[in-house]
Structure 1
């Protein structure tokens, strides 16, 4: 399958529902890099790879809606982290697979989904996560819809740690060490400024 042809059985969610603690409470997805919001860079790379895409956000909803994709919010009050965004995305989409990426990774590769998808098909696990050769990137993952009930249970029990759920669920690691910079997330205003100067 060519990279220009989307996977018809995959929906994507871009997670933009956090508090932005590392950027002074700013809404990270809306911070600008090269004149456009970080999340717009992510959309440019991810949208061509999937059949449908939703944005998970808990504030500034009108600004996110202006990006012309459906915007969903957590189904609980408060900030419950990535699992809550994934839960909302699984409830709002109907594809067999869900691709998850964060809003602060503007350099994601065009073959992200094809690699995750191939690894998931070759494994006995319900999800695959990206690894850059040194560290795991649990928020960059592909999962089967079958995990949704377990995510709901964990949220109801207050078990909110994404990596703990991934480890207990079981996963395939997908090696992106040939392009580790593609998985880099911009964690701070300084990171964004530095990258902007280089480009």
Structure 2
């Protein structure tokens, strides 16, 4: 039948999992997860794949090995497609609704250094204009940031807010009512289309610098 919307029980499932994140809860509600969460998300992912490429759905179990939080399950269902390493589209469903973003998520110091060197330079104003335009459309700019400006960046730098970022996660959300409609698939697609120019800018101007920095580090 294809994607028909996210059922109400998916949001209720994650709300209840947040209150009782235990293996016993999961065992009792595993069929419910498959029916209300994973099945509809798989249908949504399949509908988006023709335009954006094959998305990978995340497993529900958390990797707790390096975390102080030992709760065994994620309180969201995520899916992503990478345009290249560290850059791509992200989608997740949680108790509050559906969230669609575009991300530059640096996994090594070289990626952060590449991002900051380009954004601080002559072409960084282009990214600022793209981000400003998205904020005007109601998008939220998130991601991991420093509490203060990076070392070597003056306080009055015109892009100091962007330069504080170690990762960028730009997107928007819809509530459970809107996510419950078949049109939620087109809402995600429109979100990603509007984000695509920003991701393409990062792909052209930041990712090659990151690759060169990684090669330089490897050659040492």
TM-score exceeds 0.5 = no
| Rg larger in structure | 2
In terms of fraction of residues, the more strand-rich structure is: 1
TM-score (norm 1): 0.31
Greater percentage in helix: 2
